[in-house]
Chains A and B, each alone.
Chain A
Amino acid sequence: MRGNIPAYDVRAPKSLTEALEFLHREPGAWKPLAGGTDLMVLLEMGVLEHKRLLSLHAVPELKGIREEKDRFVIGALTTFGEIQAHAELCREFPLLREAAASVGAIAIQNRATLAGNIANASPAADSAPALLALDAKLELASHEGSRWVEYRAFHTGYKKTLLQQGELIRAIALPKLAPGYVHAFRKVGTRKAQAISKVAFAGLARKAPDGKLTEVRLAFGSVAPTAFRATTAESRLQGRVLDLALIRDAKQALQQQLTPIDDVRSTAEYRRRVSLNLLEDFLLQAKNRGEA
């Protein structure tokens, strides 16, 4: 343990109002702490700069999963374990279930929260590609009230987000999907558990009876400063019938959005090529769906 424990202060408000008050009274002073699975790593290394931590563990308004007519609303503090244990949610969004099951290990999944994963804003966040592909919306709460934002607009740069001072993620909403989607999730991290992704992919696609793609959503993690939707590739594919030439075309379009780096976990070249391979694989799968 390299963190200087006596130098830290932790408060645990009992309600959302109280938590938002803390953030409001001393702007920027308090770092929200949810499951702690990212912050405790920094603490152990002795590099957790925020000395005052606001534990949200006892805030009831941030918990629970609720099904509405056309969407699911997931409380910010919902853990990846709770996501996997929620049968209706998992049936509706197998992508989310697979992403949740790919986080760290079971012990981590039991603590790590969906909003924590989002707010920590790592480009390698395991939930990000799935949330992007599912068109997630975030409810951001502050002393003044709350607002909804599109998740795909939330990450504005490396470790930068739309969160203003005094704001917390309150909930994540996922619109229900029409039936008939092909989906794929793939986390590439060299081992099957306790991995940090080198490349992560989530895809959703739907075809009309004539074979035209009526919708295609492609999301990548770990290959750019933020997780992103491959919009250029998506628009090439939209309304077209998949064939090998179109798949090559989509891969070329994806190339433009890939800006991977070399680091201690992998190489830019590897990340780039695996991204392209995963896209191709998903599109081949979508192409073959419904073909004899």
Chain B
Amino acid sequence: MASRLRKEGREKLTGRSQYVDDLRLPGHPEVLHGTTVRSPVARGTLKAVRFGGSIPWKDFVIVTAKDIPAIGGKNAIAHILHDQPCLVDEQINHPEEAIVLLAHPDRFLLEEARRHVTFEIDPLPAVFTIEKSLLKDPVIWGKDNTFKEFTIEKGDVDGVWQTADLIVEGEYHTGAQEQLYIEPNGMIAVANANEGVTVWGSMQCPYYVHHALTHLFALPDDKVRVIQAETGGGFGGKEDYPSMIACHAALLAWKAGKPVKIIYDRAEDLAATTKRHPSSTRHRTAVSRDGKLLAMDIDFLLDGGAYMTISTVVLSRGGIHAAGPYECPNVRIHARALATNSPPYGAFRGFGAPQSLFALERHMDEIAAKVGLAPEELRRRNFLQEGKATATGQIIREKLDLPKLLDSALQSSEFIKKRKAFQEANQDPANPIKRGMGLSTFMHGAGFTGSGEKMLASVAAVEATPAGTVRVLASNTEIGQGQRTVFAQLVADALGIDFDLVEVVQPDTKIVPNSGPTVASRTTMIVGKLVETAAISLRQTLIQSGCLAKTYTTAEFRKACGEYLSKLGALKCFSQYQQPGHIDWDDQKYRGDAYGTFAWAVYVAEVSVDLRTYEAQVDHFTAVQEIGKVVHPVLAAGQIEGGVLQGIGYALSEEVQLRNGRMANNRLTNYIIPTAADAPDIKVIFAENPYPHGPQGAKGIGELPLDGVAPAVLNAVAMALGPEAASRIHSIPLLPESLMKALDGAAESVKGERS
């Protein structure tokens, strides 16, 4: 069947979609503008706040941490821990930490005022790197700067080193990365003691925001209402930080007695909000002469920034993915998330896995070179198969065919032929353009890690209207990925009615049940299944009531809905997550079924490197993946293409430059994401293997592409530059400046005449 049109596509294309900054609140003619005054230092003790300049301060609403107890709540953004304050009281822990909130009707004067708030701060020594955090000098968080630490153990790693044919070691680094959603963050709040708190905003997870607001204001659930406005992208960046902005807007609105709107500009959004965790990974691998992995010892470290936020969960996913789609009898993964005095890192598409898989897949190429095997052959000899166990001991219970994915990727990209041709052409020292082919093989676990889905126990609903249309009620958000369209499609297909009859309700915590956050590649696979199940029970209810025959047309269905509602009242069917019976996970030992299933992929990058400018570019990209059953081919391909380009930026150009913990290049001219002109042609190939617990057989897809792009690109660059330079290409982003350094000291044959 042809792909359905995007539900909100027409509104977006014609500019009619209402994003948070476009909203007008009925009954509230005056909305104040709010802004945030932030810490100029990374760590210190706040001594005093000064309001200077010729600013009419009496006309401003001013909120500090001192206002919070009066409201009755606790000065914390409630998430996994309550360690992150909503506003600095005394202790400053990162640059750009919020200290004072201001509101005023004139946004220009507000900005003037913001510049005239100054702070007296006693600076404290700060920590900016993982290495420094490990030294615990100073301790900046908890007892030892460690947010979380765990070890995954399979077999006996230490019993192998003595007898192994070869031991290959390597250390790999990844930098922070900004999500760069098109629409910066923003919130509007109405808050007072009578009505409670209502916020509208750009977000992925309305119930996370709801949770944070109920804690800050010490209000019952029904006194807090969170409504998602049309949202211009998230990529994980609107998972936890919107809670902070909602709390700020609500505090100002409460004190002002008027609605307050806070809209970040790009500079503030880049400097203050969450990014992908930087990482450092050490691999020690024992391998046999014929290329069998015998033992993998992996030390995986994440920089979590100043507060825990969701670093513990990012660490789990990163650690679990660290050994990749390979079968190895002995594995030890030691994972730690550490505190530094940078703004907290948060969710970003892939959620830890892009970091650990970059290290692994780059390392696999290094192993292949040492063993003397082609990179694809080394991987082929170690692939996981049905019936075999992952690092956590999860037995693969699906028809997994990685060799088939690999062959498809090799053929489609002409990998072998091109590699040979490039190797020959690269020998010519007069040729300043060196080309390479690189690949990565990887997987991504869909849905929350471990028992996360069981604990969430998500609920979604489907209801019939008197007009015979159907409404889908879930808290999952449309953030450009196509959730609204896919939910409507799943329900229309389950009911056998026209797609246009299904409306997906804008998430509003007063109206929709908590179907969990829009994260973790779970929206289609987990919540889509709930929505599909609820639709099936709605149909069964109609049939059982006698209003609908077993076979029917769309017109008969509509009539039946009307008849049911007039005779029997509301028709609304709920569905709650039930963990599939095969999942067995031990949270303490990190053993068992980390995910219900995985999506699997083989990616190939074809690159060229210009030795005159040290610039690497991706010329062609091939993405082969098995994601269960593809529900919506156009949206699915779009997810992969977008993810590939985001991955290319991660690999080659996106560098968050931190100076004393603060982003120095918080502008789009200096934080370099790829443009359309930089996008290679991207070949997207889906292999299908329906997952019985996903709707229409679907698995998760959203995060998958980010996991495999960077290593494929770097492996290709390494091939282009030859083995000597390759051993120095272990970090991303690989900017031209670092590529130049990697080439230094490499064989003259590579450098040719160049200086």
Residues of A whose CB lies within 8 Å of any CB of B are: 1-7, 41, 44-46, 105, 186, 188, 190-196, 198-199, 244, 251, 264-267, 269-270, 273-274, 276-278, 280-281
- 24 A-B residue contacts at CB 8 Å? A1-B265, A3-B108, A4-B109, A44-B265, A190-B615, A191-B672, A193-B676, A193-B677, A193-B678, A194-B669, A194-B675, A196-B669, A196-B670, A244-B753, A264-B657, A264-B665, A266-B737, A267-B737, A270-B737, A273-B740, A277-B611, A277-B613, A277-B754, A281-B432
Q: Is B393 an interface residue (CB 8 A)?
A: no
Please state if A6 and B108 are interface contacts (CB–CB under 8 Å).
Answer: yes
Please state if B612 and A278 are interface contacts (CB–CB under 8 Å).
Answer: yes
* B740 touches which of A6, A192, A264, A270 (Cβ 8 Å): A270
Please state if B669 and A280 are interface contacts (CB–CB under 8 Å).
Answer: no
CB distance from A121 to the nearest CB of B (A): 18
With A and B bound together, what is the CA distance between A193 and B673 in angstroms?
Answer: 10
With A and B bound together, what is the CA distance between A193 and B676 in angstroms?
Answer: 8
Q: Is B131 an interface residue (CB 8 A)?
A: no
Known: A2-B111, A196-B669, A264-B657. A191 touches B677 (CB 8 A): yes
CB distance from B73 to the nearest CB of A (A): 31
Please state if A2 and B612 are interface contacts (CB–CB under 8 Å).
Answer: no
With A and B bound together, what is the CA distance between A3 and B677 in angstroms?
Answer: 31
Chain A residues lying within 8 Å of B678, measured Cβ to Cβ, are: 191-193
Q: Is B653 an interface residue (CB 8 A)?
A: yes
Please state if A188 and B657 are interface contacts (CB–CB under 8 Å).
Answer: no
Residue on B with the closest CB to A105?
B675
User: Which residues of B (620-678) have their CB < 8 Å from a CB of A?
Assistant: 653, 657, 664-665, 668-670, 672-678
With A and B bound together, what is the CA distance between A6 and B111 in angstroms?
Answer: 12
Known: A2-B111, A276-B755. A191 touches B674 (CB 8 A): yes
Please state if B736 and A190 are interface contacts (CB–CB under 8 Å).
Answer: yes
Chain B residues lying within 8 Å of A269, measured Cβ to Cβ, are: 737, 740
With A and B bound together, what is the CA distance between A193 and B675 in angstroms?
Answer: 7
CB distance from B74 to the nearest CB of A (A): 33
Chain B residues lying within 8 Å of A188, measured Cβ to Cβ, are: 613, 615, 736
Per-residue CB contact flags for chain B residues 287-314 toward chain A (1 = under 8 Å, else 0) read 0000000000000000000000000000
Per-residue CB contact flags for chain B residues 455-487 toward chain A (1 = under 8 Å, else 0) read 000000000000000000000000000000000
- Ranked 9 nearest A-B pairs via Cβ: A192-B677, A277-B612, A193-B677, A270-B737, A4-B108, A193-B675, A188-B613, A276-B755, A264-B665
With A and B bound together, what is the CA distance between A280 and B613 in angstroms?
Answer: 12
Chain A residues lying within 8 Å of B737, measured Cβ to Cβ, are: 266-267, 269-270
Please state if B108 and A280 are interface contacts (CB–CB under 8 Å).
Answer: no
Residue on B with the closest CB to A2?
B111
- Chain B: interface residue total (CB-CB under 8 A): 35
Residue on B with the closest CB to A265?
B670
Residue on A with the closest CB to B109?
A4
Please state if A46 and B111 are interface contacts (CB–CB under 8 Å).
Answer: yes
With A and B bound together, what is the CA distance between A265 and B653 in angstroms?
Answer: 11
With A and B bound together, what is the CA distance between A5 and B110 in angstroms?
Answer: 12
Chain A residues lying within 8 Å of B753, measured Cβ to Cβ, are: 244, 280
5 extra A-B contacts, CB within 8 A, seeds A2-B111, A277-B755, A278-B613: A4-B109, A190-B653, A190-B735, A193-B675, A281-B432
Chain B residues lying within 8 Å of A196, measured Cβ to Cβ, are: 669-670
Residue on B with the closest CB to A273?
B755
Please state if B613 and A274 are interface contacts (CB–CB under 8 Å).
Answer: yes
Residue on B with the closest CB to A272?
B755
Chain B residues lying within 8 Å of A278, measured Cβ to Cβ, are: 612-613
Please state if B755 and A192 are interface contacts (CB–CB under 8 Å).
Answer: no
CB distance from B423 to the nearest CB of A (A): 23
With A and B bound together, what is the CA distance between A265 and B740 in angstroms?
Answer: 15
Chain A residues lying within 8 Å of B615, measured Cβ to Cβ, are: 188, 190
* A190 touches which of B109, B267, B672 (Cβ 8 Å): B672
* A5 touches which of B108, B614, B665, B754 (Cβ 8 Å): B108
With A and B bound together, what is the CA distance between A41 and B266 in angstroms?
Answer: 12
With A and B bound together, what is the CA distance between A7 and B664 in angstroms?
Answer: 28
Q: Is B688 an interface residue (CB 8 A)?
A: no
Q: Is B500 an interface residue (CB 8 A)?
A: no
With A and B bound together, what is the CA distance between A259 and B709 in angstroms?
Answer: 37
CB distance from A37 to the nearest CB of B (A): 12
Q: Is B137 an interface residue (CB 8 A)?
A: no
Per-residue CB contact flags for chain B residues 96-136 toward chain A (1 = under 8 Å, else 0) read 00000000000111011001000000000000000000000
Please state if A251 and B111 are interface contacts (CB–CB under 8 Å).
Answer: no
User: Which residues of B (477-516) have their CB < 8 Å from a CB of A?
Assistant: none
Please state if A274 and B675 are interface contacts (CB–CB under 8 Å).
Answer: no
Chain A residues lying within 8 Å of B115, measured Cβ to Cβ, are: 46
With A and B bound together, what is the CA distance between A186 and B109 in angstroms?
Answer: 44
Known: A251-B755, A267-B737, A281-B432. A191 touches B111 (CB 8 A): no
Chain B residues lying within 8 Å of A1, measured Cβ to Cβ, are: 107, 111, 265
CB distance from A101 to the nearest CB of B (A): 11
